[in-house]
Structure 1
Amino acid sequence: MMPMNPKQLKKLMKQLDMRQLDNVVEVIIRLEDREIIIKNPTVTVIKAMGEKIYQIAGGEEEEKVKLVISEEDIKLVMEQTGVDYETAKKALEEANGDLAEAILKLTEGSP
């Protein structure tokens, strides 16, 4: 493949309706159970057949495990301890989703 000079590359990008997004700090891809964070990426937008395609490249990648607390867990803690929704949810968050720990924490000191 022959190398392209910058002028030819720019012309090709215009024909393909491609452009690069400037000043992108990070891209976050949210999944059900985690997030993928790409720092300092190069992001190119390509328009094709009425759709926008985002190409993301480079940067450091980090995965964060996201705590997912189900409605069933919140309801169970509410039933077992007699607390309201927000209190049950907060206790589960503080216990990193551990049902037993959340229930024990809420029932400590109760008669």
Structure 2
Amino acid sequence: MGLNSREVKRLLKRLGIQDLNLEEVSNVTKVVIYLGDGSTIEINKPVVARMKMQGLSIYQVQAVDAETKVVKPQSTTPQQRSSLIMQQTQQPTVAKTPQQYEPSEDDIKLVMEETGCTREEAIKALKETNGDIAEAIIRVQSQRDTK
């Protein structure tokens, strides 16, 4: 089914790319990708590898087409979708407390651009989420939906 992490390492070495810290993520049974229109791509029995470069993690997901399906959204209101997304993204984190985290200018601008919120709202959301940009955007959008 595609390349395993060892084959990818050999291929990258032949291309002159070394030291990518490529490692297979074990025990992955399913990967779900959430699309902007509310639909999802569900991948069963994937092979997942992670590369670490310069403080970033890049995930590679490989699957047989027969194990992949696209699920169209049910008709839901924007508030219901935001609620579902919030439930899916809530995970216990061992991160900095909101008092320790100070958002960068780029993060603030990104949240403002994606949500149309004020600078203060973006900073507050980023601090509340310890810098998790996606969660901050969702938080601002869900707060606006409830107003």
TM-score calculated relative to the size of structure 2: 0.38
Name the structure where helix makes up a greater proportion of residues: 2
